[in-house]
Amino acid sequence: MVQPTIYLGIVFLGYMIYHLLFSTEKWRSLWAGVMGGGAFIMMPHASYMIALIVGLYMVCFVRSIRDMGRIVLVGGIVLLLNLNWLLAPFFGVGNSAGMIATF
């Protein structure tokens, strides 16, 4: 079951790039954040790719404070969608790395 979820995460990353580059101005940040958050949910190691995509986008396309605000919105949505496992250790819930070690 691992390979289909990795494939879905890669598809989400592709849609994140699409929404950052080609989507309409009104919904660009929202959908890019949702797609990035979906990729991060499907494969937690996508955090590197999300950071790389957003970093390259910032270098190439961000030219104003408003554009930087959109990037902050994308990052906020990605983190908001993934709070379930980011905050789990603070509430005493084990993480997947601990479960793998016990296996």
**pLDDT one-digit tens code per residue, 55-95:** 999 999 988 998 899 899 999 999 898 887 777 777 776 65
CA atoms of 39 and 13, how far apart (whole Å): 6
What percent of the chain is modeled with pLDDT above 70?
86
pTM for this structure? 0.77
Region 16-43: mean pLDDT is 89
Q: Which long-range contacts (CB under 8 A, 24 or more apart) does 81-88 make?
A: 81/33, 81/34, 81/37, 81/38, 81/40, 81/41, 82/37, 82/40, 82/41, 85/44
The rounded mean pLDDT for the chain is 85
For residue 32, the model assigns a pLDDT of: 93
